[in-house]
Each structure stands twice: as C-alpha cells, then as structure tokens.
Homo-oligomer: A and B are copies of this chain.
C-alpha cells in the first residue's frame, strides 16, 4: 500500500466516524467504492477523505442522508447556480425552526406539570392526572 493510501481505520480516525458507518455510506452511495489492495482491503485517498468530511459536517448540521446526497451532487457541478443549494439549506433551517418551536411548547407543558406536582402519593399526582383523559391540565 503506498504512502498516501489510507485504510478504512485511518479514514475513521481522521473524520471521527465509525468504520461500520463508512462502509454503510459506501453501500448507500454517499462514498464511491475505493480501490482494493491485494488483500482486499479498501484503499482510500485524499479525495475520499474530503468527501467523507463533507458528509460528516453536513450530517452534524442535521441534514438527512437524502439532503447530503443532493448537496454532494450539486457540489460536484461547479458551474451550476447555487440556488438549489440555498433552497436545501433553507428548507432544512425551517425544519429546525419548527422543531425548536415544538420543543419549546412541549417544555412549557412539562414545566406546568412538574410545577404542580406536590410529590405526595400517585393517587394525587398532578403529573399522572394531566396525562389522564379527564384531567387535561
């Protein structure tokens, strides 16, 4: 194996990804299948490393694998307008905003439930009560 070739383990350490996940990305078409050594080990280069870093960064930002696939396809087509990229990012941002709003109203309900808990017996528990069909607040 030449000096610039990377094993799957190297790639994993460099990118903070599990080995299984890299193989999973390959099977899912996010990473191209690399060359193999004589012993049938995967042999990666810098381009693979860059591509995997891109995938990981996008995943960290919460893009779905489908969105990552789309972003990769777009990033490969350097002359295309970047409006499509912008659209994916904005769609994702509004999903995130919606989730934040949902979780905030959820938290308010949990706060209310917990504040009312006198911590006596379950029979008088306001948390259980507010979960039950006839005690909605």
Contacts and interface: CB of A to CB of B under 8 A. Distances in A.
Interface residues of A, number: 51
Interface in A95-137: 96-97, 99-100, 103-104, 106-107, 109-111, 113-114, 117-125, 127-128, 131-133
Interface of chain A, main secondary structure: helix
A83 interface: yes
Contacts of A131: 54, 57-58, 61, 71, 75
Interface string A71-92: 1001101111111011001101
Interface of A: 49-50, 53-54, 57-58, 61-62, 71, 74-75, 77-83, 85-86, 89-90, 92-93, 96-97, 99-100, 103-104, 106-107, 109-111, 113-114, 117-125, 127-128, 131-133
